[in-house]
Structure 1
Amino acid sequence: MNKKELIESIAGAADISKAAAEKALNGTLAAIAESLKKGDKVTLVGFGTFSVSTREARQGRNPQTGSTIDIPARKVAKFKAGSKLSEAIN
């Protein structure tokens, strides 16, 4: 499912226009991104938890040359599925 299909699904389920569904989805995604940017967790009970973790700096290899390169530390977004989501897919 892509974003367009998700918007159509939201509009049908909530009985709202596609434009309103798109605004709601974009607002939700922006709020989640802003909270993660601050370092906060976002928990949607039954669905899952979005969080940020830090990936340590490490060394890797350039596959073309085989030379060692330094990969800097960075923050990455994580998602842990909630119990109801896990049950729904199994």
Structure 2
Amino acid sequence: MNKRDLIRKTAEGTGLSQKDCEAVINALFDTIRKTVESGEKVQIIGFGTFELRERAARTARNPRTGEAVEVPARRVPAFKPGAELKQAVQA
């Protein structure tokens, strides 16, 4: 499912127009992005948590040459599914 499909399904489920649903979904994604970008968690009970994680600097190996390569520390977005979502997927 892509964003366009999500908008269409949301419109069907709510009775709102696709244009209205697109505005709501865009606002939701923007809010989640900005909140995680600032270092805060977005926790949606029953669905999951969006958060920012720190990856430490490390030394990796180039698989072709075997040469050591330094990988710098970085911040990465992460999603941890909630218990209800995990149960729904298991069923």
Task: Determine the structure 2 residue equivalent to 1:81.
Answer: 81
Count of aligned pairs between the two proteins: 90
Per the normalisation by structure 2, the TM-score is 0.90
Q: CA deviation at 1:86?
A: 1.3
2:5 maps to which residue?
A: 5
The answer on 1:57 being equivalent to 2:45 is no
Amino acid at match of 1:69: V
Deviation, 1:65, is: 3.4
Alpha-carbon distance in structure 2 between the residues aligned to 1:65 and 1:89: 41
Q: Which amino acid aligns with 1:27?
A: A
How far, CA to CA, are the matches of 2:23 and 2:34 in structure 1? Answer: 16
Structure 2, unaligned stretches of length 5 or more?
none
Cα distance in 1 for partners of 2:89, 2:59 equals: 37
* TM-score w.r.t. length of structure 1: 0.91
The answer to whether residue 47 in structure 2 is matched with residue 31 in structure 1 is no
Unaligned runs of 5+ in 1: none
Q: Which stretches of structure 1, 4 residues or more, deviate above 4 A after TM superposition?
A: none
